[in-house]
Amino acid sequence: MANEIIYNPHVSVDCVVFGFDGEKLKVLLIERTIAENNELFNDKKLPGSIILADEDLDKAASRVLTELTGLKNIYLSQFRSFGGPDRTKNPRDILWLENTMQLKIGRIVTVAYVALIKIDRKIQFKSEIAQANWYDLNDVATMNLAFDHAEIINKGMQHIRHNLDIEPYLLFELLPRKFTITQLQSLYDTVHQTRSDVRNFRKKVSQWPHVVALDELEEGVAHRAARLYKYKK
């Protein structure tokens, strides 16, 4: 007899994966379909799942993200747990959980992780069990999300904003390997919710030793091509 997979049905992990498309912040969500009263109902959820009986939380988060999206070697950082007894009380969510997991489910405490990734690498979301897509962070407020996932995304963004004040280099996790100063500023202003001055921003960046100019320019734009930079070390 093969080893049976034993789950811990009381604890789950959820991954809030942020990306930046050059203009807006995106978050990675999984499509979910629920058969309800002979109708199919569609909504979205974060990549996440209950953990295995003897599994470390960080490892569980990586495993689940890979299983649901195909993404590997993503740096995930735990930021908060959510455990209100009501978070698993929506009948639609209970139905979906019990169908998917084949387990009776009570209250689940979830441990949430954030990750920042470069959206530009032509990501192929490869998973047999789920379909993942990027969604505008701004649209999340008006979308149908499973459980308390809207709140988790909000808290995740707050966490990122908080952390960027202390570790500004995190921004480069979201940018392509080669980027323009305009892209960097656009990202910077998006997450800080500011509108900084072009000259002051370039002055500031020019003191960042890890941002180095390349001998390359943008291509295929209908205006003066911008210089490309990379983040080094």
Partner DNA sequence: GCAAAAGTGTTTCTACTACACCCATGG
Partner DNA sequence: CCATGGGTGTAGTAGAAACACTTTTGC
Instruction: Identify the H or E element spanning 155.
Output: helix 149-166
Nearest-5° Cα angle at 174, 173 to 178? 85
168 binds a copy of itself (CB under 8 A): no
10 binds a copy of itself (CB under 8 A): yes
Touching a copy of itself, residues 67-96 (CB under 8 A): 78, 80-85
Q: What is the x/- site pattern for DNA, positions 165-204, by CB under 7 A?
A: ---------------xxx-------------xxxxx-xxx
Q: Beta strands of the chain (E only): which ranges?
A: 7-20, 25-36, 39-45, 48-52, 77-82, 109-116, 132-136, 211-217, 227-231
Q: Beta strands of 61-149 (E only): which ranges?
A: 77-82, 109-116, 132-136
Residue 224 binds which one of a copy of itself, DNA, none, with CB within 5 to 8 A depending on kind? Answer: DNA
Among 8-16, 121-129, 145-153, 171-179, the segment contacting a copy of itself (CB under 8 A):
8-16
d(CA 112, CA 13): 6
Residues in touch with a copy of itself (CB under 8 A): 8, 10-11, 51, 53-57, 78, 80-85, 106-107, 109, 111, 162, 165-166
Interaction site with DNA (CB under 7 A): 180-182, 196-200, 202-204, 207, 221-227
